[in-house]
């Protein structure tokens, strides 16, 4: 997942909510605040070792004031508008604010605390207002429109023209043509959405952290993997229990528990805890928040001239409109659902054969998947974990990048980090020249939001001089225990390769303007480079490079790989249906053309009945914990992962035709990513592949066709 915290020049933040209680902060002068200083650090990385919680808010105040002045100068320039004095000036404005925000929002998402949460809450309406004051500035837009309509494009290169067109479009899409009371209302909506978005995320984090399944009977954990028991015992101690085991809703805890616990009642307890997050009618309930957000997004879309929020979003994506997305999803839904039903039958039969009475339920699914895999394919996921020790998987990413692109990764112990678990690597070309910096933050903790994501601390640009990128990868892997290092499941190893793919996208960037660099591409293109990496990681030729037993050094046996691949294919129907039902839910919320009066639970139930989702599967993200669309920037865009799967399957087919480690084709692939958003996504893809993507490779990959 790629989290977009801000857009260079426009400074549109995914915002965080308002509270009546303001944080207590000390005054820090600009001369003392490290966020406002020039950074005398390797490659200009942030001095995380010098930055304190109290530095952030004063730094934002200073940066906002400076950016406001810059905008006034551009908007009130008495000279005739030109590409340089208006478009480029706007693009390069806000450098200090971008710098401060690039630090704060990365730290706040990965290592938050009460003070940072309060800062984020106070900033949310401020940042929303600041963005509106730029995007809805009539004098500024008049200059932009003048350049857009009168500029001599023969004197501009292709990227200049792209910047001009994207800048104009961004202002129009933000409401620059909205007038009078509608403009005032648009500002109110933006501010309210910013606050609601953060509150949604904070509630979800609290719900996730507050849950615990506390077990005191050793018989109830005897069948669990040793590393999971050790982690649960350490968690119990951390939570103040003198004895017993605690299992949480963090994926490294809940997923293996659901897969391996023979105690059906405990499985249901933790499953329901996960499925009911934000839906417990308590202080962290998210129903009213998301219901208001959905209607506000519709109202905003109407003010901007669109019939729905989905139409507003789609007009800037490869899919173009909501109808195309629905048509695309419908092509895959029936074969995926039919496969899931076949899987359900096999799982229910296995449960019955085990002598378990009652109806097969959603909380039983993961456990019986493992039972069927063991029976049919002689496979147990736990036997593969020793081959996916996290540093070995990371080395696998590095080795693959070396073989494809000639890159090397040098760990830098001299670069400060925001948490002791972080590792930092300098990325080098084959000739030893510097490309950029990547921070890797691997392990779950209560101060970190859930899931895995990539982001930028500094985007690549080349206006006056070449600015190298600084990117981050963040995960929630099981931390090392007293007995063993962090051992990953196959899907967790996939996640590492996935986010690393996003990281490469940012690192490869080679454009002029920051707002067109790296991952600043349409939402339904941005997941493509990350998902391509997943194809490589499971190839036997690549597995041999890194999948080695952490104790013996033995390469993962070919027969185990064959069993693993066969076993993983078994649950494809479930994985696709679980994902697609969430994508349908996203589109349903945001395709409404009249205000929704249904409660969140009723709306979700109605939509799932409409697509005939079977009761043994719930959407990957139910409404009240659907962070992707209510606090993560993917509204009307969650379909993008599947859309990108079409691209990645088709692209990887090109590599299988010539050799999966073919360096000539890899160079073409890298050039596509290096172009960032300087060209439309489909144009970039066709330049690489020579044709538009076909859906058949994805259907074959998922087993829907032979």
Question: CA-based angle 140:142:147, to the nearest 5?
Answer: 100
Calpha distance 247→214 (Å, rounded): 7
* Contact yes or no for 343/574 (Cβ under 8 A): yes
Calpha distance 227→219 (Å, rounded): 16
Q: Which of 237, 260, 275 is the last residue of a domain?
A: 275
Q: In terms of DSSP bridges, do strands 434-443 and 423-428 run parallel, antiparallel, or are they unpaired?
A: antiparallel
Instruction: Name residues whose C-beta falls within 8 Å of residue 179's C-beta, 6 or more positions apart in sequence.
Output: none
543 lies in the same domain as 663:
yes
- What does the radius of gyration of the chain's CA atoms come to, in whole angstroms? 25
Tell me which H or E stretch contains 629.
helix 627-630
Q: Which of 275, 291, 320 is the last residue of a domain?
A: 275
- CA max distance for the chain: 84
Q: Which residues of 504-532 are buried (b: 16+ CB within 10 A; e: fewer)?
A: bbbbbbbbbbbbbbbbbbbbbbbbbbbbb
Q: Residue 25 has what pLDDT? A: 38
Is the dihedral angle over the CA atoms 366, 371, 373, 376 positive or is it negative?
negative
Instruction: Name residues whose C-beta falls within 8 Å of residue 682's C-beta, 6 or more positions apart in sequence.
Output: 318, 692
* Contact yes or no for 535/514 (Cβ under 8 A): no
**Residue 138's Cα: distance from chain center in Å?**
34
Instruction: Name residues whose C-beta falls within 8 Å of residue 260's C-beta, 6 or more positions apart in sequence.
Output: 223, 224, 225, 228, 367, 370, 382
Show the 3-state SS of 160-182.
HHHHHHHHHHHHHHHCCCCCHHH
Does 374 map to a domain?
A: no
Tokens matching residue 540? 């036997």
252 lies in the same domain as 391:
no
- Identify the bridge partners of residue 487 per DSSP, sorted by sequence position: 389
Instruction: Name residues whose C-beta falls within 8 Å of residue 331's C-beta, 6 or more positions apart in sequence.
Output: 695
Does 414 map to a domain?
A: yes
CATH code of the domain in which 696 resides: 1.10.1370.40
State the catalytic residue, choosing from 499, 534, 578, 645. Answer: 499
393 lies in the same domain as 540:
yes
Calpha distance 284→277 (Å, rounded): 9
Measured between alpha carbons, how far is residue 106 from residues 210, 261, 425, 456 in Å? Answer: 23, 36, 17, 8
Give the residue from 146, 197, 196 showing the smallest Cα distance to 171.
Answer: 146
Calpha distance 548→125 (Å, rounded): 50
| Catalytic-residue membership of 499 | yes
* Contact yes or no for 623/600 (Cβ under 8 A): yes
Does 86 map to a domain?
A: no
* Contact yes or no for 234/345 (Cβ under 8 A): no
268 lies in the same domain as 401:
no
Q: Which range marks the domain in which residue 262 is found?
A: 211-275
Calpha distance 143→84 (Å, rounded): 11
Q: Residue 68 has what pLDDT? A: 97
Number of folded domains that form the chain: 2
Does 132 map to a domain?
A: no
406 lies in the same domain as 262:
no
518 lies in the same domain as 656:
yes
Q: Which pTM does this prediction carry?
A: 0.88
Q: Which of 275, 294, 315 is the last residue of a domain?
A: 275
Point out the residues of the chain with pLDDT beneath 70: 1-31
Q: Residue 523 has what pLDDT? A: 83
Does 312 map to a domain?
A: no
* Contact yes or no for 77/85 (Cβ under 8 A): yes
Does 256 map to a domain?
A: yes
DSSP H stretches of helix in 76-179: 89-92, 95-110, 114-135, 138-150, 158-174
Does 663 map to a domain?
A: yes
Calpha distance 96→60 (Å, rounded): 9
Q: Residue 24 has what pLDDT? A: 38
Tokens matching residue 95? 């450098």
Tokens matching residue 292? 């208001």
Is the dihedral angle over the CA atoms 279, 282, 283, 289 positive or is it negative?
positive
Q: What residue has token string 């929020």?
A: 309
Measured between alpha carbons, how far is residue 373 from residues 94, 105, 342, 571 in Å? Answer: 54, 42, 14, 9
Does 190 map to a domain?
A: no
């Amino acid at each position: 997942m790629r989290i977009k915290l801000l857009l260079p020049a426009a400074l549109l933040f995914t915002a965080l909510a308002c509270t009546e209680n303001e944080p207590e902060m000390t005054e820090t002068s600009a001369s003392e605040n490290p966020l406002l200083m020039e950074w005398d650090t390797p490659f200009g990385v942030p001095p995380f070792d010098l930055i304190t919680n109290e530095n952030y808010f004063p730094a934002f105040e200073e940066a906002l004031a400076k950016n406001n002045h810059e905008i006034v100068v551009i908007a009130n320039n008495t000279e005739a508008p030109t590409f340089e004095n208006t478009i480029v000036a706007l693009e390069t404005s806000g450098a200090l604010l971008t710098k401060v925000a690039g630090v704060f929002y990365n730290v706040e998402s990965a290592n938050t605390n009460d003070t940072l949460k309060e800062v984020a809450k106070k900033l949310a309406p401020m940042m929303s207002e600041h963005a509106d004051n730029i995007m809805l500035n009539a004098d500024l837009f008049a200059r932009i429109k003048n350049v857009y309509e009168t500029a001599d494009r023969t004197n501009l290169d292709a990227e200049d023209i792209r910047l001009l067109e994207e800048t104009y479009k961004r202002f129009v899409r933000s409401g620059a043509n909205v007038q009078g009371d509608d403009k005032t209302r648009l500002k109110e909506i933006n501010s309210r959405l910013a606050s609601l978005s953060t509150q949604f995320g904070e509630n979800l984090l609290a719900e996730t952290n507050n849950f615990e399944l506390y077990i005191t009977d050793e018989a109830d954990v005897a069948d669990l993997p040793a590393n999971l028991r050790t982690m649960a015992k350490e968690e119990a101690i951390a939570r103040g229990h003198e004895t017993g085991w605690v299992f949480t809703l963090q994926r490294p805890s809940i997923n293996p528990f659901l897969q391996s616990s023979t105690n059906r009642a405990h499985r249901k307890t933790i499953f329901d805890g996960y499925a009911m997050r934000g839906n417990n009618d308590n202080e962290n309930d998210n129903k009213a928040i998301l219901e208001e957000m959905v209607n506000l997004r519709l109202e905003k879309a109407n003010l901007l001239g669109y019939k729905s929020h989905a139409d507003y979003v789609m007009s800037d994506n490869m899919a173009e409109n909501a109808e195309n997305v629905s048509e695309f999803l419908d092509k895959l839904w029936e074969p995926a659902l039919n496969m899931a039903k076949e899987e359900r039958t096999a799982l229910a039969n296995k449960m019955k054969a085990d002598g378990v009475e009652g109806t097969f339920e959603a909380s039983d699914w993961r456990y019986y998947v493992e039972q069927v895999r063991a029976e049919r394919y002689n496979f147990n996921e736990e036997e593969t974990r020793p081959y996916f020790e996290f540093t070995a998987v990371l080395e696998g990413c590095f080795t693959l990048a070396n073989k494809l692109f000639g890159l090397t990764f040098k760990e830098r112990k001299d670069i400060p980090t925001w948490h002791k678990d972080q590792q930092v690597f300098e990325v080098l070309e084959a000739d030893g020249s510097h490309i950029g910096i990547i921070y890797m933050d691997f392990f779950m903790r209560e101060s970190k939001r859930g899931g895995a994501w990539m982001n930028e601390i500094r985007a690549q640009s080349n206006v006056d001089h070449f600015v190298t990128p600084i990117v981050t990868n963040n995960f929630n892997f099981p931390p090392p225990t007293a007995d063993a290092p962090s051992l990953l499941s196959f899907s967790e190893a996939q996640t590492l390769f996935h986010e690393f793919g996003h990281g490469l996208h940012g690192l490869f960037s080679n454009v002029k303007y920051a707002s067109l660099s790296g991952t600043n591409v349409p939402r339904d293109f941005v997941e493509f480079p990350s998902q391509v990496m997943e194809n490589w990681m499971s190839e036997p030729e690549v597995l041999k490079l890194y999948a080695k037993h952490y104790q013996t050094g033995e390469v993962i046996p070919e027969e185990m790989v064959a069993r693993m691949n066969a076993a993983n294919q078994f649950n494809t129907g479930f994985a696709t249906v679980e994902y697609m039902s969430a994508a349908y839910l996203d589109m349903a919320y945001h395709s409404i053309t009249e205000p929704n009066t249904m409660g969140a639970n009723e709306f979700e139930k109605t939509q799932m009945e409409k697509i005939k989702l079977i009761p043994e599967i719930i959407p990957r993200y139910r409404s009240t914990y659907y962070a992707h669309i209510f606090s993560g920037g993917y509204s009307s865009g969650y379909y993008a992962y599947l859309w990108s799967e079409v691209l990645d399957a088709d692209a990887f087919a090109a590599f299988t035709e010539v050799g999966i480690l073919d360096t000539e084709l890899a160079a073409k692939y890298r050039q596509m990513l290096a172009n960032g958003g300087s060209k439309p996504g489909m144009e970039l893809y066709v330049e690489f592949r020579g044709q538009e993507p076909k859906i058949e490779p994805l259907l074959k990959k998922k087993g829907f066709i032979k």
